[in-house]
Amino acid sequence: MNHQPRPLAPRSLAIVGATGAVGVEFLHCLAQRNFPVGKLKLLASYRSAGKTLPFRGEALTVEALTEDSFQGVDIALFSAGGETSKKYGPIAVKAGAVVVDNSSAFRMDAGVPLVVPEVNPETISGHAGLIANPNCSTIISMTPLWPIHQQNRIKRIQLATYQASSGAGAAAMEELVESTRAHLDGREYAPKVLPHPYAFNLFSHNSDIDPATGYNGEETKVMREARKIFGDPDLRISATCVRVPVLRAHAVAISFECERPITEHEARAIIAKAPGVKLVDDRARNLFPMPRDASGQDDILVGRIRQDVSDPSGRTIALFAAGDQLLKGAALNAVQIAEHLVKAS
């Protein structure tokens, strides 16, 4: 006799930053994945209060975020920036909610799990009310590397990211569209959100640069978070993060060195079976991961898998990946964490 799995009990959820680009994707992911939502509160700033957003055929009204917003909430999904998370995250936890936070506010706190469900789901159970969602570039870079790391320890990683406007929010996405339109029309366009002209241009990631190291904030996040997620403080990693004129999918070029020799065929076979990734590696057609194809997909696209010929020892592989920054890079990863919380309760 076939036994159907017992339906999961509905949970009371809150989305903080509901009207932002990631907040809207939270709603899509919850609906698409049939998350067991009982009550759903949409929270945002006072200026967004009163707006409505669609969810499962209903129009839900956005409420202003206050210190009293989390009574009766089981899980709170945050994506409203670090300052909001620092203020309201502990308030939500005190009210009894488990917070899954998309900002950098708590990622490197020793007592807060930093989770990619395909990599380290076992750390979720160690939470004390707060769980951190990693940086989008970290998720997209580390997810395809983890299964290789499990079989042949990765000792060193060098990566360069090509990051979409969505990582800087809905206003940056609009700036890319409007500046591109102005450029094509021959009109001047003064940047308002990002520090440099965006249309037909790329530039170093718009986070602050550490004058001592020369690394910007995004690069530092990726390096520190990768070590924490892999549970390897000795992982040697260097990152270069660049903003490119793409709407919502990040790409990354990675070269990684393993402890033992590894062939491209071995790496390809491991990645082809890895959860959360899709192999796109067609040399005959010169078809490899592209942001255009990754946009709207849950899986991270991985290809251009080849031996790094600069390493004569045969321990280094190069590859290229692309993943939707708003989905696996943000909202989807957080919803997957919430799914683990529900199943474990």
What does the DSSP 8-state code read for residue 169? -
Nearest to 159 by CA among 87, 233, 242, 232: 242
Inter-residue contact 47 to 80 (CB < 8 Å): no
> Cα separation of 135 and 78, whole Å?
14
Chain centroid to Cα 21, Å, comes to 13
Chain centroid to Cα 213, Å, comes to 25
Catalytic residue (one of 136, 149, 241, 258)? 136
- Within 8 A by CB and 6+ apart from 307, the residues are 263, 264, 314, 316, 317, 318
The total number of residues written for the chain in this structure: 345
Catalytic residue (one of 127, 149, 205, 250)? 250
> Cα separation of 316 and 330, whole Å?
29
142-143-145 Cα angle (round to 5): 60
**Pairing mode, strands 277-279 and 300-307:** parallel
The torsion angles phi and psi of 154, rounded to 5 degrees, stand at: -85, 125
Nearest to 140 by CA among 13, 280, 56, 254: 254
Nearest to 66 by CA among 36, 95, 45: 45
Instruction: Tell me if residue 136 is catalytic.
Output: yes
> Cα separation of 133 and 139, whole Å?
9
> Cα separation of 226 and 239, whole Å?
11
Exposure string (b/e) for 265-283, b if CB count within 10 Å is 16 or more?
ebbbebbeebebbbbbbee
Residue positions annotated with a catalytic role: 136, 250
